[in-house]
């Protein structure tokens, strides 16, 4: 993945993480609150593996998945 696409993904994770930190439901495993940024990175790793190693043509798919995570915080 080229640097420009990587920056797009990290910026999108930052914005989405701000939103998710406020909207993720309570979990007894996280009594001090949940980390929206970590949630997104874990979901990305589970779905794609190492995101930085993806082809550039996968960027829109990754961005769409991040948007889906924001719309479906549960």
Other Cβ atoms closer than 10 A to 16 = 20
First to last CA, the chain: 29
DSSP tally for the chain: helices H, then strands E: 3, 0
Tell me the pLDDT tens digit for each residue of 44-68: 999 999 999 999 999 999 999 999 9
Is residue 73's pLDDT more than 90?
Answer: no
Count of CB atoms situated within 10 Å of the CB of 70: 17
Question: In the chain, where are the structural domains located?
Answer: 3-71
Q: What is the chain's mean pLDDT, rounded?
A: 92
């Amino acid at each position: 993945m080229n640097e420009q696409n990587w920056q797009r993904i990290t910026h999108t994770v930052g914005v989405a993480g701000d939103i998710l930190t406020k909207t993720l439901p309570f979990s007894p495993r996280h009594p001090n609150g949940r980390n929206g940024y970590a949630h997104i990175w874990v979901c990305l790793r589970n779905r794609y593996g190492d995101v930085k190693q993806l082809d550039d043509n996968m960027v829109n798919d990754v961005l769409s998945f991040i948007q889906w995570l924001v719309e479906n915080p549960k």
